Structure 1
């Protein structure tokens, strides 16, 4: 029987990782990938906006292209990897992510910028499903913890992106992105270091995957995907437009990006703690609590100032992403035979759909103003919390996904 299922059917078993070293390497690659995509691209919007003389809608289109190329491609590459897992997706994905970002600093025109941002998004789409499959194999009996470790790498990469603007890129301008060629090389080195283990794990996993029986829970995964999309609209919308809100309040871009780092850094911490707890208590109720607690802090954010605004921002970021690893493992329980597809939906399509929200938010900001739009962010986690109540129980999923 699958070790992860053994743990879930007998909670007395101590959660234990199967390949800790490789898992932390995967987390490092995830950090680099997300730093160069969902971390830096939203943070760079003010610089892109200034360099190409864009309005808010055009700035939102940059996020739309980045997120949509990643979100559309991730489920597609996930389906491919479910049928024929490809270990070389890891190094190829991180290279494309890095090349797209690095060269975007030298784009001669707005349309070329969109092409390069799209290339980076496709690289992220190639990388994620295969990385999530590798994390699944490294998890052993601690699936929530394993997802927490790899996802916190990605979320920390997202949080560091805005921090690099005041520390580095405001001084260098967009041409400073050229230095990220070195970051790409580091990611490639880490990817190549885990390939021997991953190839062996793929061979060992073939027989086990054939033994999995039970039906996929289509309705449950569909609802869960909508919840992830709503969470994504909230998180990406805040991260992308928070600097504009603070500029509206008279706070400099430098300090605004530091506060964005705080928001995303709190999310990385929430991801890790939420993932660890998901090995011990119900994932469904963890997801509900994370969305429900987010609501009041999302509402307070544009209405508070000073130290209180920092506290609210931290708690908001912590809870909105505390379910990040939870939703991946929950989705894998619903579709046990399609780990790549689920990863593409949870980490790719659901999150990448935030690009649609960013475009809409950009347009609404042009019409109504950034301050007004931030009042909208409390509605999204409220709807998500209600939908969470419709999800199937974990016990019903376990009864239909036992192995022979």
Structure 2
């Protein structure tokens, strides 16, 4: 059965056709994002298993993340630029298919090299998925872009949180081969994305017939001002994701090393942190719509600094509390950053999504490799002490121009 085509209404103020917010599509693409990121989160969640089985150093653990994130980041801007000009509604299925094949090869990998090849396929799947799925969320937003991006991101972050939990329950007790059962979830993702592709195709045709014109925020910034603003946003992404990768890749090792918790216990702490990230992501978009994205970005990145600075020296109980606070605050920035960037470059949703998702993944990959090497040279605790200062970079948000007005509705 084909997906429902959204109703299009005329406004009294304009002869243009205006699209309503399509929540069914937003939650469906969010569910697809949930599946995509859940499957990706399986890899770092089983790092302790790989480390023991293949006798890996922390530098090699970081190289696994770097390989995945590099393939995910380099291709995304190019995919985004291409689909800005030529939309490909069913390309999302191709992306999930790469992820499926990558998971299969991870489950049977028998060497470090084979692991790197397998995770690179998962990275390619991610690079295809994010730009076009972000465009779907934008098209279904009905003008509520912050809310739409938050719903979309909520799925991804919820998947990132559930992934380690499922890994702890299914893979860690039974071994590497049990990763193959997650291929069934990828098959479900392909089915969901096929339904999304039908709606996407029909929606594009409907827009063409009715000559729908999107209402966009018009700014009067010079080209140099736009470029400098984008550079500031990318620096903020660096700060956010370099810190986040210290948690996602090494939080379990930090807890095991400092507090001598078991691997399943450490993964539960990671699950709680990633759950807080999911909630924070959902909050950030609507707050940006209402109060202004610049202020949400500022409060999110700079505001988390006191808590990151305390975390490396706290007791196990307070580490758990602080990680929740950090996840809630820090995660609220990404939706606001992404929508702010689309308003700097109106009409370039694919490019912006590809650039920012790609850069975020790239920073996470580089960060994981660098921090892994640093951990081998010093200690896991030391990298948390160093990374604690990264949110202070958020002070440069003050240099961003005001290109929006807050929404009081």
State the partner residue of 1:238.
247
C-alpha displacement of 1:203:
3.3
Does structure 1 residue 83 correspond to structure 2 residue 68? no
Query: Residue 77 and residue 227 in structure 1: after superposition, are their counterparts in 2 closer, same or farther (change >3 A)?
Result: same
Does structure 1 residue 33 correspond to structure 2 residue 42? no
State the partner residue of 2:350.
340
C-alpha displacement of 1:17:
5.6
Does structure 1 residue 43 correspond to structure 2 residue 45? yes
Does structure 1 residue 316 correspond to structure 2 residue 326? yes
State the partner residue of 2:70.
68
C-alpha displacement of 1:205:
4.8
The more displaced of 44-53 and 310-319 is 44-53
State the partner residue of 1:281.
291
Does structure 1 residue 191 correspond to structure 2 residue 193? yes
- The number of residues matched between the two structures is 381
Does structure 1 residue 295 correspond to structure 2 residue 296? no
Question: CA offsets, 1:249-292, max 9 Å, x none?
Answer: 21111111100111111000000011121110110010000112
RMSD of aligned residue pairs (Cα, Å): 2.1
Counterpart CA distance in 1 for 2:245 and 2:91 is: 26
- SS of alignment partner, residue 108 of structure 2: coil
- Contact 1:33–1:98 under 8 Å retained in 2: no
- Contact 2:246–2:383 under 8 Å retained in 1: no
- Contact 1:17–1:142 under 8 Å retained in 2: no
- SS of alignment partner, residue 131 of structure 2: helix
Counterpart CA distance in 2 for 1:49 and 1:230 is: 27
State the partner residue of 2:402.
393
State the partner residue of 1:24.
27
C-alpha displacement of 1:310:
1.6
C-alpha displacement of 1:350:
2.4
- Contact 1:230–1:380 under 8 Å retained in 2: yes
- Contact 1:165–1:254 under 8 Å retained in 2: no
Counterpart CA distance in 1 for 2:170 and 2:106 is: 16
- SS of alignment partner, residue 139 of structure 1: coil
Counterpart CA distance in 1 for 2:91 and 2:236 is: 28
Counterpart CA distance in 1 for 2:281 and 2:32 is: 17
- Contact 2:72–2:361 under 8 Å retained in 1: no
Gaps of 5+ in 2: 1-18
Counterpart CA distance in 2 for 1:348 and 1:357 is: 14
State the partner residue of 1:101.
103
Counterpart CA distance in 1 for 2:57 and 2:311 is: 24
**What TM-score, normalized by structure 2, do the two folds share?**
0.89
Counterpart CA distance in 2 for 1:140 and 1:44 is: 40
- Contact 2:292–2:404 under 8 Å retained in 1: no
The more displaced of 114-123 and 156-165 is 156-165
- SS of alignment partner, residue 395 of structure 2: helix
- SS of alignment partner, residue 389 of structure 1: helix
Counterpart CA distance in 2 for 1:226 and 1:162 is: 28
Counterpart CA distance in 2 for 1:382 and 1:66 is: 28
C-alpha displacement of 1:210:
9.6
1:365 is aligned, of 363, 370, 375, to 375
C-alpha displacement of 1:365:
0.2
C-alpha displacement of 1:351:
3.3
Question: CA offsets, 1:90-142, max 9 Å, x none?
Answer: 11111211221232110122111101100100011001000001100000021
1:174 is aligned, of 166, 173, 176, to 176
Question: CA offsets, 1:229-260, max 9 Å, x none?
Answer: 22011112211100110111211111111001
C-alpha displacement of 1:209:
6.8
Counterpart CA distance in 2 for 1:281 and 1:324 is: 15
Gaps of 5+ in 1: 1-15, 397-404
Counterpart CA distance in 2 for 1:130 and 1:209 is: 19
Counterpart CA distance in 2 for 1:184 and 1:122 is: 14
